[in-house]
Amino acid sequence: MVKKILILHTGGTISMSENAAGHVSPSATNPIANISEKPDQIEVTNLEVFNLPSPHINPSHMLKLYQLILDNSQHYDGIVITHGTDTLEETAYFLDTMAIPQLPIVLTGAMRSSNEFGSDGISNYQAALRVAADSRACDKGVLVVMNEEIHAAKYVTKTHTTNLSTFQSPLHGPLGLVSKNHILFFKQAEERVRFHLTEISGLVPIIKVYAGMEESLLDMLDKTRLSGLVIEAMGAGNIPPKACQALKELLDVGLPIVLVSRCFNGIAEPVYAYPGGGVQLQEMGILFVKELNAQKARLKLLIALNAGLKDQPLKSYIEG
């Protein structure tokens, strides 16, 4: 049975090329969109949505992809999104938090452009097509397929600036593997709370905590412009004590503040009961996010605020 797969192209290294000086930039034509070779029993439709380096992607672009998925889902058996790797995990997480239809949705990209030695774009693209055509991927949420591994959007992150195996899922590992002849799933993605949004707006910055941090940086923030704030704290969720008062002032004007750990592994939780420790921060009203990095926690808060969550429903969702 032939599977119909829609390819939404957004740009990124997978669609770029290298010049004689070794500089990588967008190509006039997308080399991935012109690939004729594809796995057997797969019919491909290409749609050029954007041609952007992934640092140019913002939540409005992510929302447009969500709308395109809704508009086209009834006509295809699966969807593949080609994307730059710098923000790929954020787009994947955003889409995975939307009310997506139950069909395979796979993001992929490349660490080396189309004409670089050892380019990985074609192999990643072919693997993504195979996963998107596999009916077992229907109930696993948004997936990221890179370097012959299948990752859940919630957990995957870019861990290396240039290595082909950059995408990893700390604590969890991949959901499955793509071998030469098989698609192997050995984990199930967890159930997600999902939202339907038609617009998204708001300003939610990320502040990384550092040794000796005082209130001065936080005092520079314009409270009237902020929708929320993400704090990337130390360890299990601790900050230098002088920064606490500035955070309390932000909380006092009703600003939601969520906290994640700056550590690569583990979760943020209120463990330490000293000034600036997680126990004090939780008592102040700061919300602890489990298992998300700062960039995904930002999207989680932004989506929740645009969905109208506040007070206890917001706390339950953010900390759930």
Per-residue pLDDT tens, the chain, 320 aa: give them. 899 999 999 999 999 888 878 888 887 778 887 777 778 899 999 999 999 999 999 999 999 999 999 999 999 999 999 999 999 999 999 999 999 999 999 999 999 987 888 888 899 999 999 999 999 999 899 999 999 999 999 999 999 999 999 999 999 999 999 999 999 999 888 888 999 999 999 999 999 999 999 999 999 999 999 999 999 999 999 999 999 999 999 999 999 999 999 998 999 999 999 999 999 999 999 999 988 999 999 999 999 999 999 999 999 999 99
Q: 59-72 and 88-96 helices cross at what angle (nearest 10)?
A: 50
179 annotated ligand binder: no
Please name the fold of domain 206-319. Rossmann fold (3.40.50)
162 annotated ligand binder: no
CA angle 164, 170, 175 (to 5 degrees): 75
Given 82, 85, 87, 157, which residue is catalytic? 85
Q: What is the largest CA-CA distance in the chain?
A: 64
CATH code for the structural domain at 3-185: 3.40.50.1170
Do 3-185 and 206-319 agree at the fold level? yes
* Domain residue spans of the chain: 3-185, 206-319
Residue carrying structure tokens 């140019």: 56
- Using CB atoms within 10 A of its CB, is residue 94 exposed (0-12), middle (13-18) or buried (19+)? buried
157 included as an active-site residue: no
97 included as an active-site residue: no
Given 13, 82, 91, 97, which residue is catalytic? 13
54 annotated ligand binder: yes
- Please count the CA atoms within 13 angstroms of the CA of 296 that sit on its side-chain side: 25
- Using CB atoms within 10 A of its CB, is residue 282 exposed (0-12), middle (13-18) or buried (19+)? middle
What is the rounded radius of gyration, in angstroms, for the C-alpha atoms of the chain? 21
